[in-house]
Structure 1
Amino acid sequence: MESEPKESSDLLRPRNKIEANGNLNHEEAKGPPDGGVRAYSVMVASFLTNGLFFGVINSYSVIYTVLEKHLKDEGVSNSESRAALVGALTMGTTFFLSPLSGVLTGVLGIRLTAVLGGTIATAAMLLSSFFVYNVSVLYFTYGVMYGLGASFAYTPSLAILGHYFRKHLGLVNGIVTVGSSIFTVIMPPLMEYMIKNHGLAWLFRLLAVFTFGSAICGFIFKPTPSMVLKTAREDDSWKSLLKSVVNVQIWKNKKYRLWALSMPVALFGYFVPYVHIKKYIENNFVDVNTNLPLQCIAVTSGLGRLIFGFLADKPGIDRILLQQISFYVIGTLTIILPFVNTFGFLVAIALCMGIFDGAFIALIGPIAFELCGGAYAAQAIGCMLGLAAAPLSVGPPIAGYLYSLKKSYTLPFVLAGISPLVGATLMFAIRFQRVPPNEESINTNGVARPASVLVEKSPSPLLINGDANQQTNL
């Protein structure tokens, strides 16, 4: 692989100079090209990376039903929770390692980190094919190892977009994240076909081939020279790296702190429907397409990401309120889910859940940018996702355990729905926090204050015109 410019400069160098438009010493540099063959190739590669990983992760319910049945036939106790933990670990690990992935991107570079992530995930899926019914091994291979690879590939696939797009970055980000929705529609029937005709082992091998495609996509993620800054002095690098990992600056922001601590509560039950909805349908409905509700969630989630991503860019929009509304709707519909008696109504609920699922995801980046500013938004997102990893991981296994006790999904789905309601309610505390008079707001709907304000009042490590952050949306 040809050597590439590292992004480590932004993480490792001492931040003791004001920068103008992302350039030290006011150096002139060309901005992102906002078009061209290479820029669109990067967009397509990012789209495929998002789709390949989250298409597999979101479709775990297909694998869950097979593993759960096998464990039950083997007489294994708590078969529901044990099978659910495999997929929950994948999601949890992907989020938990987001801060590490961001730092690694700065140290190794975007392209190398993405290729490394795709390679690790491919090896994980290939190893899983040799231990298809050994759940203890799958905890590591399919759960932790695949999640590690997904995390290392996912962050670069978003960070690279800021190197090639600025004017239409929001729209491009929406298009890229829709990849996970499209692949979540495609994956369930394909996975079901493979399991039925070739077995679970060959499904994992096919997914390994698909996942290797993300490593190939990683080779396209070459940073543009105009977005790379000069490196720090070597004697300061490790000290600065430590500061980038343990960033206390964002935690001094009370509004961010309340938001970041509310999100794990809201996300405790988020992944439960993705894992258990197929099993729930099999238990309660006959002669229906068991994959259809999950596919409906995926389709309308993509639509929701585009709609609410567009709304988030509008002046005067309260992004936190929009996210609260999305959690209230998701929580309420999850509670209603086990009381539905008709499949058509279940599909309607899935469609609505998808819209607001897309809203929640699309608003994470803009909220982090608004609360912490461009210079800290990426780390703010990574820290929040890291905190949310544990609740995301334990929610589905707990739901499976409760189902094994009651043989009903009523209690698991009700509890899963309550957590978004509680998390959204906790976010109201953000509105009671006042910004101190001497603490200037960095952003208004993603637009930085004039350069003169920053230079005069805040010799801080923030970049003028808000260009420090190359990509903040998920």
Structure 2
Amino acid sequence: MAFKENYDSGETELKSKTSQDSPIHCSIDEDHPCDDGLPPIDGGRHAWLFLLASAMLEALVWGYAFSFGIFQKYYSTHEPFQGSNNIAAIGTCAMVGIAYLIAPLPIIGMILLPQIARWVSTIGVILMCVSLALSSFSTSVTHLILSQGIGFGVGGSLAYTPSILFMSEWFVKRKGLAFGVVWSGSGLSGVLFPLAIEWLLDRYGVPTTLRISSVGLFLLSIPFLYFHRPRIPVSHAVVQRRLNFRFLYSKVFLIYQIGNTVQALGFFLPTIYLPTYASQMGVNELLSSLTVILFNVTSVFGSIIIGFLSDRYHVTTCLLITTAGSVISVFFIWGFSSNLWSLYVFCIVYGLLAGGYSSTWSSIAHEVQHANPATDFSVIFPFMETGRGIGNVVSGPLSEALLKADGWQSHAWGTYGSRYGTIVLWTGITALIGGIAVMARYLKCV
């Protein structure tokens, strides 16, 4: 009898604790997912449709943004932008950097105002499409930075960040793989967007291309927005617990974030400059654009593979794989390449290994959460994107400065002897530092 009373008391206490701590109306922990009539976790029609919608929005936002190298090549050789400074800043600083940089803000807004969470992605799609339409009237690089860059970046961030908040409701045990599938969406669209943008620019010019892009992205998004929704409503009662930011000062988070931010300082530079570099070899537009296409294709597989591995192995093991592959491909393949085919080999290897780096974020967030139990996963994750955004914002003007430091030009072999030699060196060094957590774990710092 005494045993039963103690058991009942313990069970009541456990239920009370679960009720107070859970960020949603029922438990979705890995061992005991709830069964209250809601769609199932980690599978089922509703979960897969949500994942498909998330991957599609990811594809439209990032696939278009990562294809900016095609625009940059066109802007650099056509009026009214030919000879303008800071063209690279449109893509690296604004279009991509802003979308990453402000990622925590939509998440915080959706937690504080859960009733708007369902509509944030719709608002984002509308904003980024309107921004592209407005950019078609630009007559200076400043106009492009504000519209195609910042406007698209803010809209894109609103369009895809609900995936981060809702993912913890739909996937638990397969979360790393689910995020890997979502990130791979940008790689799939990255196969088609460069070709489509190249063709449109050659046939119709910049204004019409941007207007067609605006309408096209909107029409492609419409069928998927309905399924981009939460599994369970978010409760106002747990706002204070979910918005705990003490992890920002923890040693574990800082080590992972340093590697993440530094890696981003060089990660995007190859896709920005490779089309232009390939064109200088005397190849046509299609063959030069193929560099970006190959990177995007292989990054699809890289994202899924690293995401799959992150569900099964410690995150530093995955970081070791992506870091080692990135460093070797940059220093030895891109650095010593002297023809188009070696550039293609680099794009394949770099996309496959470096392209999966962001698929480690889910496991990194779990490591940080393990060290800071009061923090919610959905709050940690977007700050990893902020670190990537900081790297993007800095890499734009930094890359312009690196191109001016041409002390190696004509004094070294392969790409090292071109005006892009310093870009190669910088990309390789930042990729190496991106794996700092591997050494930190060896030294028992994480």
- Which bin holds the TM-score, normalised by the shorter protein? 0.7 to 0.9
The aligned residue for residue 305 of structure 1 is 303
For CA contacts below 8 A with separation 6 or more, give which structure has more relative contact order. Answer: 1
> How far apart in 1 are the matches of 2:403 and 2:435?
26
Cα gap change, 1:418/1:143 in structure 2, threshold over 3 Å: closer, same or farther? same
**Given that residues 169 and 230 in structure 2 are in contact (C-alpha distance below 8 angstroms), is that contact kept between their aligned partners in structure 1?**
yes
> How far apart in 2 are the matches of 1:295 and 1:197?
20
Q: Is residue 385 of structure 1 aligned with residue 385 of structure 2?
A: yes
The aligned residue for residue 365 of structure 2 is 368
> How far apart in 1 are the matches of 2:124 and 2:91?
18
The aligned residue for residue 354 of structure 2 is 357
- 1:130-178 deviations in Å (ceiling 9; x for gaps): 11x4110111111111111111111113433444455655544433332
Shift of 1:190: 0.5
Identify unmatched segments of 5+ residues in structure 1.
Answer: 1-13, 436-474
Q: Is residue 95 of structure 1 aligned with residue 92 of structure 2?
A: no
> How far apart in 2 are the matches of 1:74 and 1:295?
25
Q: Percent identity?
A: 22
> How far apart in 2 are the matches of 1:433 and 1:214?
45
Q: Is residue 286 of structure 1 aligned with residue 292 of structure 2?
A: no
The aligned residue for residue 341 of structure 2 is 344
Shift of 1:215: 5.6
SS at match of 2:280: helix
Shift of 1:48: 1.4
- 1:249-298 deviations in Å (ceiling 9; x for gaps): 31353222211122211221111111111011111343571111211111
Q: Is residue 84 of structure 1 aligned with residue 88 of structure 2?
A: yes
> How far apart in 1 are the matches of 2:45 and 2:396?
42
> How far apart in 2 are the matches of 1:320 and 1:381?
17
Could you tell me which of 10, 20, 33 is aligned with 1:17? 20
With the length of structure 1 as denominator, give the TM-score of the two structures. 0.77
Q: Is residue 323 of structure 1 aligned with residue 330 of structure 2?
A: no
The aligned residue for residue 121 of structure 1 is 128
> How far apart in 2 are the matches of 1:392 and 1:362?
18
- 1:230-249 deviations in Å (ceiling 9; x for gaps): 4339xxx7xx3xx755x333
Cα gap change, 1:15/1:139 in structure 2, threshold over 3 Å: closer, same or farther? farther
- 1:210-233 deviations in Å (ceiling 9; x for gaps): 332436633332323xx2254339
Count of paired positions: 404
Amino acid of the structure 2 residue aligned with 1:17: Q
Cα gap change, 1:318/1:74 in structure 2, threshold over 3 Å: closer, same or farther? closer
Q: Is residue 44 of structure 1 aligned with residue 33 of structure 2?
A: no
Shift of 1:73: 7.4
**Given that residues 170 and 310 in structure 1 are in contact (C-alpha distance below 8 angstroms), is that contact kept between their aligned partners in structure 2?**
yes
**Given that residues 114 and 156 in structure 1 are in contact (C-alpha distance below 8 angstroms), is that contact kept between their aligned partners in structure 2?**
yes
> How far apart in 2 are the matches of 1:159 and 1:151?
13
**Given that residues 255 and 430 in structure 1 are in contact (C-alpha distance below 8 angstroms), is that contact kept between their aligned partners in structure 2?**
no
Cα gap change, 1:36/1:313 in structure 2, threshold over 3 Å: closer, same or farther? closer
Amino acid of the structure 1 residue aligned with 2:230: P
Shift of 1:323: 1.0
- 1:64-96 deviations in Å (ceiling 9; x for gaps): 0111223697554xx3xx110001121110111
> How far apart in 2 are the matches of 1:103 and 1:414?
38
Cα gap change, 1:53/1:344 in structure 2, threshold over 3 Å: closer, same or farther? same
**Given that residues 128 and 155 in structure 2 are in contact (C-alpha distance below 8 angstroms), is that contact kept between their aligned partners in structure 1?**
yes
Cα gap change, 1:434/1:360 in structure 2, threshold over 3 Å: closer, same or farther? closer
> How far apart in 1 are the matches of 2:234 and 2:81?
58
Amino acid of the structure 2 residue aligned with 1:68: S
Could you tell me which of 154, 179, 188 is aligned with 1:182? 188
- Which deviates more from structure 2 when the two are superposed, residues 359-368 or residues 210-219? 210-219
- 1:332-355 deviations in Å (ceiling 9; x for gaps): 322341430122222111111111
Amino acid of the structure 2 residue aligned with 1:201: P
Q: Is residue 418 of structure 1 aligned with residue 415 of structure 2?
A: no
- 1:416-457 deviations in Å (ceiling 9; x for gaps): 22111123246522443468xxxxxxxxxxxxxxxxxxxxxx
Cα gap change, 1:280/1:159 in structure 2, threshold over 3 Å: closer, same or farther? same
Could you tell me which of 151, 166, 183 is aligned with 1:145? 151
> How far apart in 2 are the matches of 1:200 and 1:385?
30
SS at match of 1:290: helix
**Given that residues 122 and 159 in structure 2 are in contact (C-alpha distance below 8 angstroms), is that contact kept between their aligned partners in structure 1?**
yes
SS at match of 1:289: helix
> How far apart in 1 are the matches of 2:380 and 2:81?
45
Matches within 5 A, 1:129-208: 129-131=136-138, 133-166=139-172, 169-208=175-214
